[in-house]
Structure 1
């Protein structure tokens, strides 16, 4: 994730103006849209990122609904004058006032997720957005923060929105930047301007956006003269958002899984792949993974994406037969030396699926390299080859990965959505998420041992 300080001056708005004049873009079209749904992680995000779109849609008679994820109570963590409880109430009132300025007929749902806590509660937004889209008859534009915006809640909101839209027929996604204007550099932008979309704002719409932003004095003006009460969106910040054009990023074309060539190049640079042996994070994660297995012993284990076989070697101590697969050939040479009791085969998921039945399948740090369609097909492959008393163990890194197609949280959520039974184990911490998904005949350890009534 990008690290930035909102108190710093950040990129000069004039630098962006010069850059934006060079951007080739397509216009945002609202003439065939049945509804606009805006995802706002915090009160004022809807105004900063999409206030012009909300007002323009309202003028065109397009229904608008805003999903406000948090109350924004964490905006001033060091304030000596205003508590988070005060801010919660203040910002709720400001949000209602701003939305009434932008689109008096617009509706809103406040989800009440703790500010800064969307990563721990993504399913709240997922369920609300899924329900909202299911109730609309006709094409919908979902507007959500750009996933690369640099704020954790913005990233998770964007990821959840992208995942829901990918499974909702007739929906399209537009992503808006908020903090990227502040930290990104027009000379070498990180944002995907090759897929930019623009919306020209009439003078009346721009005036409404400006008035809506003024409805957030808790953010645009200091709470008090004391340190910790500074404005979050000062005039310099606001200038990024009060342009006569609003900017969005369209969803990229259908994503592909990470290629075999990219993994080959990785292992050519780093033959051991990642620091599986030396890293305490890796060693501890393996210990947590093995401890989560509900059976002491397995008949036949399949490890997807085994890399250099470090976890595979430990699985051979828990299973009668172990097969490891990886997309690249180079790590398998090391894996065969490290885990001589296991078998290994080079295979690309999900098309090159190994023959066999398994009572243990391990998917560790591989799911987020798969496209959404390949991930779904892989889940189907696992379900089709897993014995009734078997389990799938999935463990994934939760921080950004430049080579990943999705994220660990998205993979875990998709597995939970597609799996016929609830997870037997779900371990979530800041760095990784681990879930154990049971087959139809799996019962708890205590039940298996006759310890329960």
Structure 2
């Protein structure tokens, strides 16, 4: 496959509608980036729902485990789960405030065709705030049949894929009653994406638009 290089990534923004979205969608990439950068990776996390709850505690512990050695800042809002479209203005204002706290090299957020209304409203708002950034739309494994047709793959080693699954199961005990929240499901999806890019495992993303330079810049 043709490989594109994003350059030296030192600062990223990761956005999710719920505590666990980021870890499910981009956990393997976070583990990989944290291990590769020469100086501590700066990670700015933004989550719509779960403030002052057990789920916020889970999220903070999970992100710390997924970003060892990184500088991690987490902001969790109190938007009611499942009702994000009704909170459009507060979410937009919070996103704009979050935008002023960071200058990321890459932005990770849900993809626009996600079937969950909370994921979708966040996906629609992110490009209106991060207007000049590379935004990668991640996929969130769940019951709905909304898995996208990815355009970008980030290869993972089997060790990283297994570590991601282990962290998900360890740090999100509130979610283990879901019949899709298990190691086989997470490794199955990452293995499928790996097959599609000829690697052991991978995380896949949707890119709405980007520029490319050929030769020396």
Call closer, same or farther: CA 1:180–1:219 in 2, change over 3 Å.
closer
Alignment partners' CA distance in 1, 2:106 and 2:44 = 11
Q: Structure 2: state its 5+ residue gaps.
A: 192-200, 212-217
Q: How far apart are 1:34 and its partner, in Å?
A: 4.0
Retained in 1: the 8 A contact 2:15–2:46? yes
Q: TM-score, normalised by structure 1?
A: 0.39
Residue aligned with 2:123, SS = helix
Alignment partners' CA distance in 2, 1:35 and 1:114 = 29
The C-alpha deviation readout for 1:328-366, integer Å capped at 9, x for no partner, is xxxxxxxxxxxxxxxxxxxxxxxxxxxxxxxxxxxxxxx
Retained in 1: the 8 A contact 2:110–2:137? yes
Alignment partners' CA distance in 2, 1:102 and 1:211 = 10
Retained in 2: the 8 A contact 1:58–1:64? no
In structure 1, what is the equivalent of residue 53 of structure 2? 89
Q: How far apart are 1:208 and its partner, in Å?
A: 3.2
Retained in 2: the 8 A contact 1:57–1:64? no
The C-alpha deviation readout for 1:59-94, integer Å capped at 9, x for no partner, is 22331111011119xxxxxxxxxxxxxxx7332222
Please give the residue correspondences for 1:336-415 in structure 2 after superposition, counting only pairs within 5 Å.
none
Please give the residue correspondences for 1:126-275 in structure 2 after superposition, counting only pairs within 5 Å.
126-137=92-103, 140-166=105-131, 169=132, 171-179=133-141, 183-184=145-146, 191-193=148-150, 196-214=151-169, 215-220=171-176, 222=177, 230-231=178-179, 233-243=181-191, 244-252=201-209
Residue aligned with 1:99, SS = helix
Retained in 2: the 8 A contact 1:30–1:57? no
Retained in 1: the 8 A contact 2:166–2:183? no
Alignment partners' CA distance in 1, 2:127 and 2:179 = 31
Residue aligned with 1:251, SS = coil
Q: Structure 1: state its 5+ residue gaps.
A: 1-23, 73-87, 185-189, 223-229, 255-453
Call closer, same or farther: CA 1:26–1:126 in 2, change over 3 Å.
farther
Residue aligned with 2:55, SS = helix
Which of 1 and 2 has higher RCO (CA within 8 Å, sep 6+)? 2
Alignment partners' CA distance in 1, 2:54 and 2:20 = 12
Alignment partners' CA distance in 2, 1:92 and 1:176 = 21
Retained in 2: the 8 A contact 1:101–1:208? no
Q: How far apart are 1:182 and its partner, in Å?
A: 5.3
Alignment partners' CA distance in 2, 1:136 and 1:94 = 23
Alignment partners' CA distance in 1, 2:2 and 2:79 = 35
Aligned residues: 196
Q: How far apart are 1:117 and its partner, in Å?
A: 1.7
In structure 1, what is the equivalent of residue 63 of structure 2? 99
Alignment partners' CA distance in 2, 1:127 and 1:63 = 23
The CA RMSD measured in Å over matched residues stands at 2.8
Retained in 2: the 8 A contact 1:70–1:111? yes
Q: How far apart are 1:211 and its partner, in Å?
A: 2.4
Residue aligned with 2:89, SS = helix
Alignment partners' CA distance in 1, 2:105 and 2:91 = 17
Call closer, same or farther: CA 1:181–1:54 in 2, change over 3 Å.
farther
Q: Which has the greater radius of gyration? A: 1
